[in-house]
Each structure stands twice: as structure tokens, then as C-alpha cells.
Amino acid sequence: MTRDIPAGSIVVGTDGSAHAERAVVWAARQAHLEGRPLDIVHAYGRVGVGELAWLGTPGLDQSVLTRALHEAGETLAAEAREIAVLEVPGLEVRTHVLGTDARDALVEASASAHVVVLGSRGRGPLRSLVLGSVSQSVARLARCPVVVCRPQEPHDGRHEVLVGAEGSVASLPVVEFAFQQASLHHLPLVVMHSFVDPTLVTQGAAGVQAEPSDVVELRMLLSESVAGLGEKYPDVEVDLQLSQGLVDQCLLHEAPEAELVVVGRSDVSGWSRLLYSSCALAVLERARTTVVVVPEQPAE
């Protein structure tokens, strides 16, 4: 049961795939950096039983299939634990094999976890579909930040942490999480605020874009919104950027330079917030780097 996972731990889901292995390595390094224990979760449920049933003898007892899944899960969890300990010797690691749906297990674990870490794809066509569904579902429903580790494309640009700043008080946990990661990983931080109002950009003389007063005001508000965090994390080099376009377009344009992309998830209704959150979650589907989806502060 996920209640056996202590509060504040790093939780990582595994299915034995190479993508899950990448998530385990990332989670182990993160646990070491933050001085937290690592809890490895392998969950199987109706999908797993059905998958084996297609390959088994007709009429085979479901309890036999369930037992086989649990034993296989124990093996996968033990292999993941070995990977984590090899990556970070001495790390406190626990394993959990749960006979429930992976989405339910990880969302439940998110209530007390510090972060939940997942790979971007599973093993084989069915596993790819399942884990893709798991990462999206957990990112939408989790109560803590969710890290989705994607294969990173090599590049020669500078490495950085990139965060989309919505600009409201509710989004402060998102920006602060990005500051924390930039400080932990000794990386510069790019704080980006996107806007979609075409009237905020005008064409000046000789084809040079002028900066109207509304954009100046946005830039000042963005600077003020991170001022306190800059004082809290003085070691972090911060670059504030305004970018015209939808959130996902702006972040993905910059994302190839980033080691980590941090986006917010709002559960508050309203067209502007809904648009921002929908675009932000689209980054999860299209990014080619590690993405973190952070729940925004609940409305009072």
C-alpha cells in the first residue's frame, strides 16, 4: 500500500523499460541531492492481468496470473533498486509492488511524496500506450510535482532550467520549484512569461520593433514577481524573458537548451487560467527533455 511510503520521499514508478530506468537514475540523483529516501513503485492491475491472459492458456486461473505478475514485479523492482544503488551508493531505497492500477497508486502516493518521477514511455506498443497514459494522468491529478523524464537530445547550447511564469500568486510554487532545482543542479534559470495579445508589439521605424508601455509594465511585473526568490536563492543566475505566443510554443522553442522545463498546472476555472494550464500540459507531450508539472497554489 502507498501508505507505507513515508512523507517527503522521492517516488519513482518503474515497469522495467529503458525509459523507466532513466527515471530511476534521475530520481536516485535527485534523492541524493535533496537528502531524501527513494521509494520505487511497480504497480500492476487489470491491464497487466489482461495482457498476460492474451498470452496464456484459455481458462487459466486469474490467481495464477496475479501471482505471476506480482513475482515479475518483485523482480523488476529489485532490478530498479540495484540501478539506483549503483548510481548512488548508500542511498536509502525501498521497493513497493502493488496489485493496483499504476495511475491510482502514483496519484495516491503523491499526497505525501515530495515528487513523483516517471519515464516517458513503457516497454513495447502496449506498454508505451499505458505508460503514456499513466504519465499524463498522474501529471493532471497529482498533489505534488510530477517529473517526466524524456530522452534528451544532445546540443551545444548552454544548459539551464526553464520555467513558465503565469504571473499570479497561485503560480509562485511553480517558480520557486524552478529556483530550487536551478540551485541544486548549479544551473542558470530562465523565467519566461508568454503573452498572446498582438497589440502589445508594434513595428517601429526601419523595421525595428518598439516596446510599448504595456510590455514595459509586463517586464516590471515579471521582475517583481521573482524578486523575493532571487534573494532567497542568490546563487541562481536568472534571465527574465517575455515571449509572444502560446505557452507551449514559447517554452518548446526555448526547451532544447534546457536540462529541465518546469510548468504549472492550475485547477482553477476561468478562460485565461484554463488556456495557460492546457498549453502548459501540452509541453509534456512534445518536449524532448525532462519536464516537471507543478500544481499551483489552491485558491482560498
Q: What does the pLDDT read at residue 249? A: 75
Q: What CATH number does residue 26 fall under?
A: 3.40.50.620
Please indicate, yes or no, whether residues 105 and 210 belong to a single structural domain of this protein.
no
Query: Nearest-CA neighbor of 84 among 138, 23, 140?
Result: 23
Domain final position from 117, 149, 181: 149
Last residue of a domain, one of 149, 182, 213: 149
Is 300 a domain residue?
Answer: no
232 and 142 inside one domain: no
| Residue 87 included in any domain | yes
84 and 6 in one domain?
Answer: yes
User: Which residue range(s) make up the domain with 290?
Assistant: 160-295
Q: What is the pLDDT of residues 282-292, one digit of tens each?
A: 787 778 889 99
* 91 touches 32 (CB < 8 A): yes
* Rounded Cα distance, 230 and 236, in Å: 7
Q: How many domains is the chain partitioned into structurally?
A: 2
Return d(Cα 20, Cα 255) in angstroms, integer: 22
pLDDT tens digit sequence for 78-109:
999 999 999 999 999 999 999 888 999 999 99
**In this structure, are 115 and 16 located in the same domain?**
yes
- Looking at the fold, whether 139 and 181 belong to one and the same domain comes out as no
pLDDT tens track for 50-89: 444 444 556 566 777 778 888 989 999 999 999 999 999 9
Give me the mean pLDDT over the 114-125 stretch. 74
One domain, residues 164 and 267:
yes
- Does 189 map to a domain? yes
Which of 149, 172, 204 delimits the end of a domain? 149
Using DSSP bridges, classify how beta strands 146-149 and 290-295 pair: parallel, antiparallel or unpaired: antiparallel
Neighbours of 46 (CB within 10 A): 9
Clarify whether residues 141 and 210 are in a common domain.
no
> What's the chain's Rg over C-alpha atoms?
21
